[in-house]
């Protein structure tokens, strides 16, 4: 039986149109899960899970979606209002098609042929990180850092009318971006590499739709500053971006991608660089980027006092689910947990997220509206005074804690919702 955990799956969502839905359906029967991470210009990393229990993913914005596993690098391409169905063969290859657009099937065949011959779509640093694991699993370790062979295969398929123009353009941009990215990794960078990247800035409004071009721009900033002897700091990087790009879309994206991660770590010990935030607010014109950053800057929620939450459900059995948006095993349990919620209506289900980013938590809530809501879902903000939380001592997730009707802990590490043992435990104390 094919193990779905062995994929590295990349979905590209075409961004020629906006605010239109794309539906992706898993139609296979192999056990396991497919862990997806979506990334777009406006959104940081959003995660979802597909499996035999949760087969459908609906996306309403432009993005790329990755299944971040070491073994796969296959791209699935879609356009707005398309529905894609995919399955997996015994070798672990993804096969997909679209009833309304038959060319998607031949694009899938191209991607599989390219993967089997030349390996994953990777930049050089990522590839070097994977080499040892790939060798241990006897995977194809061929790596064309100039992407010459992939480009040749792409041209062959396109000339034979097996690829759409949009797909061809995206892959051309991807291979070009990866090639230039790898040139930036040379010990001595050819000035023509910087020149080629800089000549692309006029077309960046379109090129930014490709995730590998966005990665190239980020690497360009790092390497250009190093060559110029500029000191590396968050505010220094932000200042360089604001002064060295004429394309506003590039400025907006780079300022946002540079500041978003450090600003979204809510419990960071090092004070955030206020000058970096000042530069972002002054030069970033993208309202979505600005709103995401300001949302992360809002004061943390009132420190979580678990005892107070349990008190709200006094007289009820309470199942607490400690989870995070980035935790795929946590999200894999949600469909079974929904069944428990439907079956045991007298049990209170409380979901406590340990996400670092408030945005990531809120986006995950939007994905699971039938499970998570304002009443049962909270974002943890630790309090030293929370003795009950200390007693539970959550060090790994997913973690389930069963609280009795009297407010006392019954089980500090309860069985997962997908197991029959949890139902036995609930019924024992109902």
Helix (H), strand (E) at residue 317: strand 317-323
- Residues annotated as catalytic are 327, 330
For the beta sheet containing 22-26, the strands, ordered from the edge strand earlier in sequence to the opposite edge, are 56-59, 22-26, 83-88, 94-97
Query: CA–CA distance from 141 to each of 122, 168, 399 (Å)?
Result: 12, 25, 37
Q: For residue 400, what is the DSSP state?
A: E
**What angle (nearest 5°) sits at the alpha carbon of residue 211, between those of residues 209 and 212?**
120
Task: Give the DSSP per-residue string, 139-208.
Answer: ------TT-HHHHHHHHHHHHTT-S-HHHHHHHHHHHHHHHHHHHTTSSS--HHHHHHHHHTGGGHHHHT
Query: CA–CA distance from 400 to each of 100, 169, 392 (Å)?
Result: 43, 47, 10
d(CA 413, CA 371): 21
For residue 155, what are the contacts with CB-CB under 8 A and spacing of at least 6? none
Choose among 144, 2, 137: nearest CA to 71.
137
For residue 419, what are the contacts with CB-CB under 8 A and spacing of at least 6? none
| Token pair recorded at residue 83 | 């529905």
Query: CA–CA distance from 374 to each of 153, 344, 354, 397, 402 (Å)?
Result: 51, 20, 16, 21, 21
């Amino acid at each position: 039986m094919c193990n779905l955990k062995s994929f590295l799956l990349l979905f590209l969502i075409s961004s020629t149109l906006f605010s239109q839905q794309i539906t992706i359906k898993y139609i296979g029967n192999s056990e396991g899960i497919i862990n997806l991470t979506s990334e777009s210009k406006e959104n940081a990393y959003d995660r979802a899970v597909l499996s035999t229990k949760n087969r459908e993913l609906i996306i309403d914005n432009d993005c790329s979606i990755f299944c971040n596993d070491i073994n796969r690098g296959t791209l699935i391409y879609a356009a707005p209002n398309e529905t894609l169905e995919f399955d997996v063969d015994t070798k672990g290859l993804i096969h997909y098609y679209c009833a309304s657009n038959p060319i998607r099937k031949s694009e899938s065949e191209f991607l599989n042929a390219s993967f089997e011959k030349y390996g994953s779509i990777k930049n050089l640093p990522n590839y070097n990180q994977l080499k040892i694991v790939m060798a241990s699993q006897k995977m194809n370790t061929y790596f064309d850092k100039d992407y010459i062979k992939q480009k040749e295969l792409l041209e062959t398929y396109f000339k034979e009318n097996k690829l759409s123009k949009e797909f061809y353009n995206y892959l051309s941009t991807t291979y070009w971006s990866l090639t230039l990215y790898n040139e930036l990794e040379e010990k001595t960078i050819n000035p023509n590499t910087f020149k080629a990247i800089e000549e692309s800035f006029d077309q960046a409004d379109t090129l930014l739709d490709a995730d590998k071009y966005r990665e190239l721009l980020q690497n360009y900033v790092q390497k250009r500053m190093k060559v110029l002897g500029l000191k590396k700091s968050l505010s220094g990087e932000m200042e360089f971006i604001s002064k060295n790009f004429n394309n506003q879309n590039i400025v907006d994206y780079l300022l946002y991608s540079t500041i978003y991660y450090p600003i979204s770590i809510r419990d960071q010990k090092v004070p955030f660089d206020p000058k970096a935030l000042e530069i972002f607010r002054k030069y970033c014109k993208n309202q979505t980027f600005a709103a995401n950053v300001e949302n992360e800057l809002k004061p943390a929620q009132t420190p979580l006092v678990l005892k107070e939450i349990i008190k709200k459900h006094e007289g009820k059995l309470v199942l607490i689910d400690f989870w995070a948006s980035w935790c795929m095993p946590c999200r894999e349990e949600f469909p079974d947990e929904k069944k428990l919620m439907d079956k045991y209506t007298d049990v209170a289900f409380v979901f406590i997220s340990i996400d670092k980013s408030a945005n990531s938590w809120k986006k995950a809530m939007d994905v699971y509206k039938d499970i998570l809501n304002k009443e049962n879902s909270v974002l943890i903000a630790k309090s030293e005074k929370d003795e009950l939380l200390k007693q539970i001592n959550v060090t790994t997730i997913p973690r389930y804690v069963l609280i009795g009707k009297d407010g006392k802990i019954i089980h500090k590490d309860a069985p997962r919702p997908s197991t029959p043992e949890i139902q036995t435990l609930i019924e024992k104390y109902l």
